[in-house]
């Protein structure tokens, strides 16, 4: 991360379709400006490679885009047979508690 430590993070337990359970932590760094754009660092621990820093037109958009991307990655994991669980439980993570799906136009 551009800054030495994340300002927020969340951990999940991922239950792969193979039955393997792994702890997955997502860390979001402080948004920074480069040129005219803003970027939010996102780092992963325990599963998958992290994306490049996520861009936005302003600092809020960069942060929201980063959260939405992680949300989409986890939803895709679940869609393909995995389960996203609250840490140390067998309770499925409630995606809608973080980001509600936008209504269709």
pTM for the predicted model, two decimal places: 0.83
Q: Which range (2-6, 29-33, 65-69, 87-91) has the least confidence?
A: 2-6
Q: Is the pLDDT of residue 70 over 90?
A: yes
Half-sphere exposure of 66 (CA within 13 A, CB side): 30
Higher pLDDT, 1 or 39: 39
Contact predicate 13/85, CB 8 Å: yes
Mean pLDDT over each residue of the chain, to the nearest integer: 89
Q: Would you state the pLDDT for residue 48?
A: 86
Tell me how far apart the alpha carbons of residues 4 and 57 are, in angstroms, rounded to a whole number.
Answer: 23
């Amino acid at each position: 991360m551009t800054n030495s430590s994340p300002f927020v993070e969340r951990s999940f337990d991922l239950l792969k379709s193979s039955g393997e359970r792994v702890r997955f932590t997502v860390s979001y760094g402080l948004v920074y400006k480069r040129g005219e754009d803003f970027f939010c660092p996102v780092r992963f621990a325990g599963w998958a490679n992290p994306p490049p820093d996520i861009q936005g037109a302003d600092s809020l958009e960069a942060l929201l885009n980063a959260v939405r991307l992680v949300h989409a990655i986890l939803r895709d994991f679940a869609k393909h047979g995995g389960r996203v669980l609250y840490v140390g439980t067998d309770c499925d993570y409630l995606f809608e508690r973080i980001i509600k799906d936008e209504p269709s136009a």
